[in-house]
Chain A
Amino acid sequence: MNGLRTVVLAFAAAGVAMSVAGCGERPQVINYKQGKYQGKPDTPAFNSPPFNGNKQQWENEIDDRAQKQNEYVRLRD
């Protein structure tokens, strides 16, 4: 009888231990923080020749080339 009680108590203790085991679990989802760039600085694309810092001219050139991808416009000309 005593042996059976010991077994039951052991199972009960194991059950309690297992049920509270998760209580100490830490959150495992990491909230990423954006890092700060540590490398060499880069210059804007329009700083070098042939644009020499003329951003507007560079933007116009890029926009013009982008429009050439639209053949509905290109073929109308």
Chain B
Amino acid sequence: MARMKFLCDAERCIECNACVTACKQEHEIPWGVNRRRVVTLNDGVPGERSISVACMHCSDAPCMAVCPVDCFYKTEEGVVLHDKDLCIGCGYCFYACPFGAPQFPQTGAFGVRGKMDKCTFCAGGPEADRSDAEFQKYGRNRLAEGKLPACAEMCSTKALLGGDGEVIANIYRDRVTHRGKGGEVWGWATAYKVPGGAGATQQPGGAAPTPAPGAAPATGGTKS
């Protein structure tokens, strides 16, 4: 088993928020905490794209690096988890995370912050697997049941894929090959707007975008 990863196919996501709902229902997440959310780019503009975002279980997770009490750990499957008994709710991980994954329940008046809560890839936490303590602190442990995250398995259009990184990359590659497009939605050329590349647009002010070093000159960066 390699590394557990999420992959959201922006060509398929219809912004239905079923992944958000499935996550909240599966783990009985309190009001105000969203382990997963759907982000729409260019909302209302023709060609808008939506992606479902949660903890990406980074290979080199910045939250792990900045945590002052070292409450984060990574499982053998590459899932980034944390010990809530150790967390002091300082919020450093929130500032460090590029995806805004760490969430803090408002436990009282005056903005008092609780312990950090985030996507666990439905892998629970450092409590006995499938115990009440694990469910109350971290939610359901679907991986221990041989299941994948509820958000990915619930996704009606299968835009959100979850599982072993190699497996879901192959599924995505197969999909792009079948439909003949979509590989250009993500990748270097799209992210950095390489001239002539997929997703290339003129920057405000008419300045020509600068190609990134090592970027492919004219094609999308993702596999297809």
List residues of chain A with CB under 8 Å of any chain B CB. 32-48, 50-51, 58-59, 61-63, 65-67, 69-73
Select A58's contact among B62, B126, B127, B146, beta carbons within 8 Å: B146
| Contact flag A39-B83 (CB < 8 Å), given A32-B66, A34-B64 | yes
List residues of chain B with CB under 8 Å of any chain A CB. 1, 62, 64-67, 69-73, 75-77, 81-83, 85-86, 123-130, 141, 143-148, 152-153, 158, 161-164, 167-168, 171, 174-175, 178
A33 / chain B contacts, CB cutoff of 8 Å = 65
A51 / chain B contacts, CB cutoff of 8 Å = 144, 146
Shortest C-beta distance, A43 to chain B (Å), equals 6
The 3 closest A-B CB pairs, nearest first, are: A39-B83, A66-B163, A35-B70
DSSP majority for the A interface?
loop
B148 / chain A contacts, CB cutoff of 8 Å = 62, 65-66, 69
CB-based contact B76/A70 at 8 Å: no
A36 / chain B contacts, CB cutoff of 8 Å = 70
A32 / chain B contacts, CB cutoff of 8 Å = 62, 65-66
Cα A44 to Cα B73 in complex, Å, equals 13
B129 / chain A contacts, CB cutoff of 8 Å = 43, 45, 47-48
Task: Sample 20 A-B pairs with CB under 8 A, ordered by A number.
Answer: A32-B65, A35-B64, A37-B71, A42-B125, A45-B129, A45-B141, A47-B129, A61-B146, A62-B1, A62-B163, A62-B164, A65-B148, A66-B148, A67-B171, A69-B152, A69-B161, A69-B171, A70-B158, A70-B171, A70-B174
A41 / chain B contacts, CB cutoff of 8 Å = 126
CB-based contact A69/B163 at 8 Å: yes
Shortest C-beta distance, A53 to chain B (Å), equals 12
Cα A10 to Cα B147 in complex, Å, equals 76
